[in-house]
C-alpha cells in the first residue's frame, strides 16, 4: 500500500493574547498558556502518553525538553522578550516546578473540539481550561495557608493581571483531513469556534486530497481550511472585544507570518523551506509518516533511522510537522513587531530590544 508522505506547511494558527487588564504595557507578572505542540513545554510527555528522545532539544537545551522542536518554541522567545522564565508544564511532576510566573497547559496533539477515542491527546481545549480552573483554585487554597508557598505559585492578583495566550486549532484541521473531505471540515469550523468561544469565556468568567499542492509545495486544501478558520476567528475576536471592554483581546495573524517565511525563506537566511531537517526519505520532503524523528524502524524489510540534518538553522521545518528553533525565532520576532496584530501594538513594545536571540 502506498504511503502518502506530506506535511502541512502552514496550518492554523490561532494565537490570541488576552490580558485581563485595562491596558497593554507588556509587563505582565505571569503568563497562562493554552495550546498544542506548537507551545507544549512538556505536558504530553509529563502525562506519560508520549516520550521524546534525541535529537529533539539538541540546539538550546542539549537534551529533549518535552518540546517538539530542536530547541526553543515561539512561546519561549516571547517569555524571554518579557524577561520572564520559560513556562513549566502543568503536568511537570519531576524536580521542583515553579509556577510563580505562570503555567503552561498546552499539550501536543490537542484540539479545540473535545477529544475522541482516536485523539492523540486527551487534553482538548476544554480540558485545558478545566485544568486552569483547578490550578487557580488550588493556588488560592495554598496561598490561604500562609506565605510558605509564595515562591512557587502566582499571587492571587496575578490571575487578574496576567497574560493569557491561546495557540490551538491546528490539530482540528490536520487530523480531520485523514477521514473527512474539505467541505466537511469547512462545515465543522463554526462548531470549532463555538467550542473556542466557550473556553475563552470560561477563562474570562473564572479568571481533500493531500496530493493537491499550492505554488509553495504546501497542501492547498489544508491551507484553504486554515484561512477560513482564521477569517472566522478574526470575526470572533472582534465580537469578544465588544463583550469584554475591560480586557485587551488581540488577534495575531501567524498564518501570514509563516507563509511569508516559507515563500521568502532565502531572504531570512534559510536554505530549505519545506524539507524536514529530522526525518527519512530524502528530498523533496525528507518525511515519512511511518517513522518519526529519532526513531529506528524496519520499513520494507530494511532497518532505517530518521536522523537530524547537520545544521537545523538552515531549515524552516524540523520534523515534518513542527517548525525549527530558527524558524520559531523568526516567527516570534515578527509577532513582537505588532504589525500582524489587530489591534496593532507596535507602539507598545518597549521590551522588544530585550529579545534574546
Residue positions annotated with a catalytic role: 37, 319, 322
Could you give the CA distance from residue 232 to residue 254 in angstroms, rounded to a whole number? 15
Q: CA-CA distance, 272 to 310, in Å (whole number)?
A: 13
| CA dist 203 → 64, 130, 164 (Å) | 31, 9, 9
Helix (H) or strand (E) holding 303: strand 302-305
Distance of CA 117 to the CA centre of its chain: 22
Q: Name the residue with cell 524536580.
A: 95
Cα–Cα–Cα angle for 356, 38, 263, nearest 5°?
Answer: 80
Q: What are phi and psi of 352, to 5 degrees?
A: -55, -40
Closest Cα to residue 320, out of 35, 4, 74? Answer: 4
Alpha-carbon Rg of the chain, whole angstroms? Answer: 20
If one counts every other C-beta atom within 10 angstroms of the C-beta of residue 151, the result is 9
CA atoms of 124 and 142, how far apart (whole Å): 27
- 8 Å CB contact between 98 and 26: no
Q: Give the Cβ contact number of residue 296 at 10 Å.
A: 11
Beta bridge partners of 303: 298
- Rounded Cα distance, 333 and 328, in Å: 8
Amino acid at each position: 500500500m502506498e504511503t502518502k508522505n506530506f506535511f502541512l506547511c502552514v496550518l492554523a494558527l490561532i494565537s490570541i493574547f488576552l490580558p485581563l487588564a485595562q491596558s497593554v504595557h507588556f509587563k505582565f507578572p505571569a503568563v497562562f498558556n493554552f495550546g498544542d505542540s506548537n507551545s507544549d513545554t512538556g505536558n504530553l510527555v509529563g502525562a506519560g502518553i508520549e516520550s521524546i528522545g534525541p535529537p529533539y532539544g539538541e540546539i538550546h537545551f542539549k537534551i529533549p525538553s518535552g518540546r517538539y522542536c530542536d530547541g526553543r518554541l515561539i512561546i519561549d522567545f516571547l517569555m524571554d522578550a518579557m524577561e520572564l522564565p520559560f513556562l513549566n508544564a502543568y503536568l511537570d511532576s519531576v524536580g521542583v516546578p515553579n509556577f510563580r510566573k505562570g503555567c503552561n497547559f498546552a499539550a501536543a496533539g490537542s484540539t479545540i473540539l473535545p477529544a475522541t477515542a482516536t485523539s492523540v491527546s486527551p487534553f482538548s481545549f476544554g480540558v485545558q481550561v478545566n485544568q486552569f480552573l483547578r490550578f487557580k483554585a488550588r493556588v488560592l487554597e495554598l496561598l490561604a495557608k500562609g506565605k510558605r508557598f509564595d515562591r512557587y505559585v502566582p499571587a492571587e492578583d496575578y490571575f487578574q493581571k496576567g497574560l493569557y495566550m491561546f495557540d490551538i486549532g491546528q490539530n482540528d484541521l490536520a487530523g480531520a483531513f485523514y477521514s473527512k473531505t474539505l467541505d466537511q471540515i469547512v462545515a465543522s469550523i463554526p462548531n470549532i469556534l463555538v467550542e473556542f468561544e466557550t473556553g475563552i469565556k470560561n477563562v474570562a468568567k473564572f479568571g481533500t486530497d493531500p496530493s493537491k499542492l499550492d505554488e509553495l509545495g504546501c497542501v492547498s486544501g489544508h491551507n484553504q481550511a486554515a484561512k477560513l478558520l482564521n477569517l472566522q476567528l478574526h470575526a470572533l475576536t472582534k465580537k469578544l472585544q465588544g463583550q469584554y471592554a475591560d480586557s485587551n483581546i488581540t488577534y495575531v495573524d501567524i498564518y501570514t507570518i509563516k507563509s511569508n517565511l516559507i515563500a521568502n525563506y532565502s531572504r531570512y537566511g534559510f536554505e530549505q523551506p519545506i524539507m524536514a531537517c529530522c526525518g527519512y526519505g530524502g528530498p523533496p520532503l525528507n518525511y515519512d509518516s511511518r517513522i518519526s524523528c529519532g526513531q529506528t524502524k524496519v520499513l520494507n524489510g530494511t532497518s532505517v533511522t530518521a536522523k537530524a540534518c547537520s545544521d537545523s538553522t538552515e531549515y524552516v521545518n524540523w520534523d515534518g510537522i513542527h517548525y525549527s528553533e530558527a524558524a520559531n525565532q523568526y516567527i516570534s520576532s515578527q509577532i513582537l513587531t505588532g504589525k500582524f496584530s489587530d489591534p496593532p501594538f507596535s507602539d507598545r513594545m518597549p521590551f522588544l530590544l530585550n529579545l534574546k536571540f
